[in-house]
Amino acid sequence: MGSEPIAYFITCRTYGSWLHGDPRGSVDRVHNVIGTPLLGLDRKRSDREHSRLRHPPVRFDSSHRAIVEETIKVVSERRDWTIHAMEVRSNHVHVVISAPETPEHVMNALKSWCTRRLVDADLLPRGTKVWSRHGSTRYLWKPQQVETACRYVCEGQGDNL
């Protein structure tokens, strides 16, 4: 294992699309240790989370997805980041990417630019919260890990949208 990761596997969810208490499980600020169980179904928490939303959950249609995908490509090219795999879905984005910055920096830059472009294209009103807080940032240290993440992104997402 080198001293620097060779890539990151970044996942960003759209706002309101996967709330705590959801039966799929979730991680919160207290329950976030790798290898420990996810938070499970909790209808009261899910209802509470839903009632706190500032606006309806954000879902991407084909126009949104095209803008997000193109924006990620342009930002990555301009910053000399290497995209190994990317998938933009209706409620989340996966990207396997190499960059000399932290994954948090990469994720924040991509989310900011995508939001800007979606608003500029009049696909979302200004002030819309497009993304959930943070996201998943996995460090990939070995070529096999990059390959596995790319395979998941390209082949493990279900049917094409």
pLDDT confidence of residue 160? 67
- C-alpha 37/C-alpha 68 separation (Å) is 32
Residues 41, 66: one domain? no
Please report, as a single letter, which amino acid is at residue 68: V
Residues 101, 146: one domain? yes
The answer to the question of residue 1 being in a domain is: no
pLDDT confidence of residue 20? 63
pLDDT confidence of residue 140? 97
Residues 92, 149: one domain? yes
Residues 38, 97: one domain? no
| Residue of 45, 9, 48, 10 whose CA lies nearest to 26 | 45
pLDDT confidence of residue 14? 95
Residues 46, 70: one domain? no
The answer to the question of residue 77 being in a domain is: yes
Residues 29, 70: one domain? no
Residue 128 has pLDDT above 70, yes or no: yes
pLDDT confidence of residue 26? 62
Residues 69, 80: one domain? yes
More confident residue, 84 or 34: 84
In our burial notation (b when 16+ CB lie closer than 10 A, e otherwise), range 90-129 reads eebbbbbbbbeeebeebbbbbbebbbebbbeeebbeeebe
Range of the domain at 36: 17-52
pLDDT confidence of residue 50? 76
Residues 64, 112: one domain? yes
The answer to the question of residue 2 being in a domain is: no
Length of the chain, in residues: 161
* % of the chain surpassing 70 pLDDT: 83
CATH number, domain with residue 123: 3.30.70.1290
Residues 89, 11: one domain? yes
Residues 126, 98: one domain? yes
Determine the average pLDDT of the residues in 102-130. Answer: 97
The answer to the question of residue 113 being in a domain is: yes
Residue pair 104/5 in contact by the 8 Å Cβ criterion? no
Provide the whole-model pTM. 0.85
The answer to the question of residue 46 being in a domain is: yes
In tens, the pLDDT along 91-114 reads 999 999 999 999 999 999 999 999
In tens, the pLDDT along 20-66 reads 666 666 666 665 666 776 666 667 877 777 778 888 889 999 999 99
